[in-house]
Amino acid sequence: MKKKRWFTMIGSICLSLVLAALLLPACAPAAPEAEGIAELEDELAAAEKEVKDLKGDVSDLEKKLAKAEAAGPVPIEPEYKIALAAPMLSTVDEASYRAFVDLVNIRGEGRIEVTFFPEAVLGSEEAVYADVAAGAVEMTHMSAGKLTKWVPWASIGVDLPFVWTSWFDCYHWWEQVCLPEVNKELVASDLMTLPYVGCEGVSHIWSRVGPIRSVADVEGKIFRAYSAGTEVAWMEAMGGKGTVLPWAELYTALETGIIDLMHNPFRLMLDLGFADVTGDVTITGHKVWVGTILLNLTWWNSLPEDIQIIIDQAWYEASPYWKWANWTDEKMLLEEAKLPPYNLNIYTPTATELAGFKAAVEPVYDWARQEYGSDKVDMMLDYSE
């Protein structure tokens, strides 16, 4: 009985060993080498997919780049868009303003875009001045005579006749003495000027009623004035009647006989066709016309300093052309005006006749002292002597 149980136990053990031997290969983990290869193969497949995707992205980008290059550079939207209005300019004046605009736009490197509006594109002079004061237009050309609209005493610098014998002295007085004082008072109107002037030329008397050889010829004539004050005072001191008339109405007023006389520089008159409605010019040279750029003060103060410097520097460089081109043209234009298509009669007063014009307006200096203060008149006369 014991022997039978022993063999039975031996048999069970052997059977267990055999089953273990058969089942062990099926349950054991795979060899380490095979597992690493499978993982690497999976990673390689994923990397190949990424490379394929990247190649597709690069191809798309290359197509977009080629399309963009064919279309040209993408425009940069400027940070500062500026309107510069210039309702009334001669060819020389306009050239200096266009040079100013180009300098600002180039040096702004895409940050600034100044658009130039010549003639009356944005309205008449008065309309544009109102727009600048209101901030609807940033900048405008301004003849200095228009300063009297906000600073009445500026009339002495603009309109007292026979003050300047040197254009150079006139420019320096405006830039170093007058404009700094004017700008102090323009603050109340939210305006300012850039501190450099250009020049439209020197003024002579233009007539549609025959030659003006002496003060006696002015007697009873209607003289166009662009502003009240000193200008009207000296016209009336000569015996004429000073009548303030907007620039836009002047040509028709001369053509229809509403106005008899006017005073302006040669370049402006010839460029704008006034030779057609006048016949005689008397060479008096009684006034040097200057102008500058009028700005909205709030807008100017909103600009960063580097943008202000670009604008200021550009006008500093462009204004000298405007200063001197009309000066160098004066003699040439005087001769040109005698020839077709202008055919103007040019009269140069004798020394005695010119002294008569000067003597007639002498009382206006005392009038200006009473009207605006002796300090303001002396501020200019001391500089011109």
Query: Please, what is the Cα angle at 316 between 384 and 95, to 5 degrees?
Result: 100
CATH number of the domain at 80-375, please? 3.40.190.170
Q: What Rg value do the Cα atoms of the chain yield, rounded?
A: 42
Tens place of pLDDT per residue across the chain (385 aa): 444 444 344 344 444 433 444 444 444 445 556 666 777 677 667 766 766 776 676 677 677 767 767 766 655 789 999 999 988 777 888 888 999 999 999 999 999 999 999 888 898 888 999 999 999 999 999 988 889 889 999 989 889 999 998 888 999 999 999 999 999 999 999 999 999 999 888 999 999 999 999 999 999 999 999 888 899 999 999 999 999 998 889 999 999 999 999 999 998 889 889 999 999 999 999 999 999 999 999 999 999 999 999 999 999 999 998 888 878 888 889 899 999 999 999 999 999 999 999 999 999 999 999 999 999 999 898 888 6
Q: What stretch of H or E contains 23?
A: helix 2-27
Buried b or exposed e, range 21-47, using 16+ CB within 10 angstroms: eeeeeeeeeeeeeeeeeeeeeeeeeee
Residue 328 tokens read as 């160098």
- CB atoms near residue 212 (< 10 Å): 26
Contacts of residue 191, Cβ cutoff 8 Å, sequence gap at least 6: 132, 133, 150, 294, 295, 296, 297
Alpha-carbon distance 284 to 373, whole Å?
27
- Of 90, 87, 118, 85, nearest in space to 322 by CA: 90
Give the start-to-end residue ranges of the domains of the chain.
80-375
- Of 257, 282, 258, 278, nearest in space to 269 by CA: 278
Q: pTM above the 0.85 mark?
A: no
Beta bridge partners of 66: none
Across 210-279, the runs of DSSP E, i.e. the strands, are 222-225, 241-244, 261-264
